[in-house]
Amino acid sequence: MNANKVILAAHRGDRLKFPENTMPAFLSAIENGCDMIETDVRLTKDGELVIIHDRSAKRTAQADVNIDELTLSEVKELDAGAMFGDCFKGTKVPTAREFITLAKSANILVNWELKVYPQDFGDDIAFKTADLLIDLIDEFDFAKNSMINSFSARVLEYIFKKCGNKFLYHGQGIHNCRRSYDTTEIDETEIFNWCCLYPNEKGKKPTDYKENFDFCLENNILPCICVEDNLEIYKKALDYGCRMFTSNNIFEADKILKALGVR
């Protein structure tokens, strides 16, 4: 994660062939040579960390209920695979502990996205979620493999104030392409090591704005993107200094990066 190489990150695991954010998706990403897995952390009603993107379980598990309104045992009753295909029926929502056990054994990098935001749950719950994740990472001695990410810049600031440079901090757009839900007391350029760049305008691509890549590099922040897996876009992003591609199709992304000579 120190920019000596271009990183290929699997967005919620291998979501092309498996239900997103599930153990089979993570295992496939590892087996197919990804450098990193990007995943999403939420908190259950009884204070357990689970891996799921949306607050509601409706899209991925056919249950119109919020994860934070369920206990862990109730979350484990959800079917995270049936909507993806009959052969995946019974796939469970993993806990963060289950996932980190796999990630540790594989020695893979992880981009942990904290999805519990102060604007939705208040500072106490948002920061408690961050504390629980930090404790889990420490328990597994996994800090050197961990990047912390959130659309809440304040959550990242909280971790930075508590942990300093223990982790790398991955912001969600700064400068002209800001996507954070809130602001920080410390200048974000002092906190972020990485930043996922977004387009400034709807319908555009991150690579339509070289100035955003330049701003990051000028401030010692490594730019990365999550876009369609397209050779032209990838090449332009590499020319602008992009160091990580978070992909929804890890097989196409790997093919493109190999064609461009960076894998």
Catalytically active residues, by annotation? 11, 53
Burial-class residue 90 by CB neighbours within 10 Å (0-12, 13-18, 19+): exposed
Per DSSP, helices labelled H in the chain are: 23-31, 58-61, 72-75, 96-106, 118-121, 123-139, 153-163, 188-191, 210-218, 231-240, 250-259
Number of separate helices (H) and strands (E) present in the chain: 11, 9
What amino acid is encoded at 93 in this protein?
V
3-class secondary-structure state, position 197: coil
